Structure formats: structure tokens, C-alpha cells
Amino acid sequence: MTNPASSSEVVLDGGMLSIDTVYQVGLGQVMPRVTNDSLVLKQLAASKAVVDTAVAENKPIYGVTTCFGGMADVAIPNELVNASQRNLLAFLATATGEPVSSRHTRAAMLLRANVLLQGKSGVRREIIDRLIRFICADAIPVVRELGSIGASGDLVPLATIGRAITGHSSRCQILLDGQQIDGLAALKKLELEPIELQAKEGLAIVNGTSFSSAIAANCVYESQTLLAMSLAMQAMMLRALNVQHEPFAAFVHQNKPHAGQLWTAKVMREFLGAESKNGNSTNSIIQDRYSLRCLPQYFGPIVDGMAHVSEVIATEMNSVTDNPLIDSAEQRFYQNGNFLGQYVAIAMDDLRRFLGLLAKHLDVQIAQLVSPEFNHGLPPSLRGDDSRIYNMGLKGLQITGNSIMPLLTYFGNPITEHFPTHAEQFNQNINGLSWTSANMAWRCVDLFQDYMAVASLFAIQAVDLRAKQELGHFDGRALLQKPLVPIYDAIYNACGEKTGQKQPFLGHDDDRWLEADLQMLKQGLKPGKGVISAIKPLVDSFKAAFEV
């Protein structure tokens, strides 16, 4: 499979896609195409032939020669098999709410195409080609945020894609060339004809976890960056608090060798310069408070957890999750429950909890930074200039951070166990709520970016003020170890400010409009921006250490 890191194209053959690839296709940075590998295409045709034979022999096959769900005991005569597949897309046209991001929809189409290429779902290549054609033309179906319980996969959202790509009447909307137009108009503009669905093809499109997996993959990618950024901000804050280095020593963590703890402690030693025997802090207390001293032990389980979430989503998004599955070698259909979204749901519940824990930890550090009782001589509320007695520093910014953190911890509560037990004639009497959990996680990612902007301003302001105390100037870079300097610079640059000034980031309270700084910083955390580039080495370190 083509490596998107060195190419703008990825070749789909049903093999493993990485989360990075899914993310890049979602952004429109990488374009997919279908393989010409004869073995893959032969397997695809073989599974379709199994379906055609079953229909010709009038075998009772769920969703092929029967109705769906709780009405599976209703037989469909041969002459109505194709009409039943069209009707599947029609009765699932029930979504509501706001549209989801086009990034998710592109990623979902990619994943659906790739798993269908595994040749276990009984579809023609034409269906897969159409999915890819829409991605490459940037023709993105408008999919709404409410309508899936993650039971039989993402039925309603995937049916929206199905109606769009097949030209199933005009009952869908498509974003194309900056306009939102109906499905038939989009097909005409793309010079495509409607596709007449055949046996099982409608079911193969809608029955699976590809959409919730796509949202989850985007959440995982963004969260890996936020994890790294959190650790970097922790390091700056700890330097500003003159943290003691001894708790990060390799000896300590070799005696409690959890992988996440070991990695966190190693990174902190590099960020704090703690490898040097002369690198310990000058603070006078016997030992630091728990939020400082126990950082690797607190952060480590989150690191391990995020690595596990990444593995779960990578497995799920590459899995064949429709029902029934087809073993073309044995000419056999397998009833199954691979469509249940439980893995995605629990993984996204966990991810939201981890983001809440990261925010709460940063919130505790900020509270110490602004309090003279705990910050070892920094000004109250990190005010940048005490020549004005009424300067309040970052007092208002702390309140903003305090308003976001409880939202993140609240969203960290699990949704999965709240599933309805009576869905669809009690047929879907357990369901994963993966779609809901993943969409909640995406909301948390966005909220955490807001929080990270807040935390970043506290970090650089605190470092600048400590530099003035220790070195006589406000250039915080002089206090930082080499790996942190590009991140510090990127935060300044994102706010349109030069480093090395004769005052801290914020001098007098009215020198800066912090609201505008927060918006610029949040943009700096978006794909391709400066802060993301600066933090990339640490993200790469995480991925390499945990093979995700």
C-alpha cells in the first residue's frame, strides 16, 4: 500500500490502513484509488457470485432474500430482491441534527470502500469505485449528527452515503464546488449515472461501523497531538515552578516499569534537563506536591490508555463489520454481530475520560502558578508588570480555563451503558452507541483545543516571569531545554508576537487582547499550523514507543 507520508495517493486493496492515512484522506490531503491487483478483484467477484447463486437458488439469506432486522422472517421473492435493497436506503433516510464534519464523511467513505474490497460482503467493484470517485471529486454527502445507535453499525449515516453515491432519488444533499445540491444534480454535474443496487449491496453499504470508526480515527489522531502538547505545557509549567528533578530519575521508574510511566518520565527528564547531576531545582521545600512529584504516575496510565485506544480503533476501522459475511471459498454465509459498535463506543468513552484527566491536571498546575503561596516567588496571577497596582495578570484567563475543565470532565462520563434495550422491535436490544460516543469525543477534542490555548498562555507567561527572576530578562527560552524552545516559539508566533522582548508575554493587562490570542492559538493547533509542527517530534516519539 502506498505510503501517504511520501505520496499524495493511497492505493486501496483491503489491507490495513493507518489512522494517519485515514486522517489525511479526511482532510483531502491524500487521494485514494482502487488497486488493480487481480487477486483482490478476483476475491471481490467471487463473493458477489456467492450472493447471485444464493438468489438464483432462492435460498433464505438474511437481508438478501429476507426483510431486515425484526422482520427477517419475511421472505423477499427473487423479482423484488433489488427493490428491497433500494428500499433499505429509503426507510433509513431519517437523520436529524447538524451536519457532521466533511472530514468524517470522507474518512467514512474511505473505510467503507477498503473493507468492501476484502471481498466478504458481496458487492460489485462499481460500488467501491463510486465511493472513491466521490472522495476524489470532493463530492461530500451531507450526513447529520443524530441517527445511529451503533447497533447494526451506523445504518442511518451510511445510508445517507449510499443514497448519494447510487443516485437513489434526490433525497440527499451533497457538498460540491462550494454548494449544497441534491443528489441527482450532483450526479449530473459529475457526469455519472445512477447505480441500480443488486442483492445485498445496500446492506453491505449501510451495515457496519465504518462511520463511527472514521470519527474515532480523527479523534485519536488529534488527541495524540493534544497528549503531546499537554506534556510539553506541563514541562514548561514545572520549570516555572522550579520543580525538583529527583522524582523523574530513571531509577525511580525502573522500579515501577509501566510503559506509559517510563515514557513520560523519560520525556520529562529531556524537557527539564534532569539527566544532569547539576540540573536539580533551587526550590527549598523537601519535596514537591503530588501534581508535580507524581506526574509520571498520573500521566502514564493516560499514555497507556491512549495507546490502547489507538490500537482498538485501528483494528476496528480495518475490520469487515457487515452481516452476513461471505466465505467465498466455502460458498457460505455467516450470520454474525461484527456490526456492533461496542469497541468504538468504549474506546471513545475512555478517550473522553483521558482528555478530562489531562485538563484537570493542567488546571491544578495553573492554580499553583498563580498562587504566591505555592509558586516560589512568581507574581500573583502571573501579572506581568507591578508598576500598575491595578494590574490583575491572568486572573480572567484562569476563570476561562476553569469554565472549560468541568465540561471536559463531565463529558468524560461514559455513554455506552445508557443504550436503549428495546430498539427496532427488541431486535437491537443491545447496542454500542458508538456513533454517539465518537461524536461526543470529537466535541471534547474541540473543547480541549480551547483549553490547551489557555494553558499555553499560562505556560509561556510563567516561564517569562521566572526568566526575569533568575536571569534578569524576560526571554523564557533561556530557561528551557532545547526540545521545548520550538514549542515556546510556536506559541508566541501563533499569537503574532516575537520572542525575546523586554517584557513578558503579557505586561500590562491592556497590552494584549487575550481573547484574540486564544483564537489564534487554537488555530495554531489545527492541521498544518506552526504549533502542530513544533510538537510533532514528541507525537512521533509517542507513536514509535507504542507502535501506534
Q: Secondary structure of 355-408 in the HEC alphabet? A: HHHHHHHHHHHHHHHCCCCCCCCCCHHHCCCCCCCCCCCCHHHHHHHHHHHHHH
Which of 117, 198, 202, 211 minimizes the C-alpha distance to 165?
Answer: 202
Q: Are 166 and 194 in contact (CB under 8 A)?
A: yes
Whole-angstrom distance, CA of residue 477 vs CA of residue 471: 11
CA distances from 112 to 95, 109, 163, 191 (A): 19, 5, 14, 23
Which of 216, 212, 214 minimizes the C-alpha distance to 435?
Answer: 212
How many Cβ atoms from other residues are within 10 Å of residue 166's Cβ? Answer: 25
Q: Are 120 and 48 in contact (CB under 8 A)?
A: no
Beta bridge partners of 180: 175
CA distances from 294 to 267, 415, 525 (A): 14, 30, 27
Residues in the chain: 548
How many Cβ atoms from other residues are within 10 Å of residue 35's Cβ? Answer: 16
Helices 295-317 and 259-272 cross at an angle (nearest 10°) of 120
62, 290, 298, 343: which is the annotated catalytic residue? 62
Helix (H) or strand (E) holding 34: strand 31-34
62 catalytically annotated? yes
Catalytic residues: 62
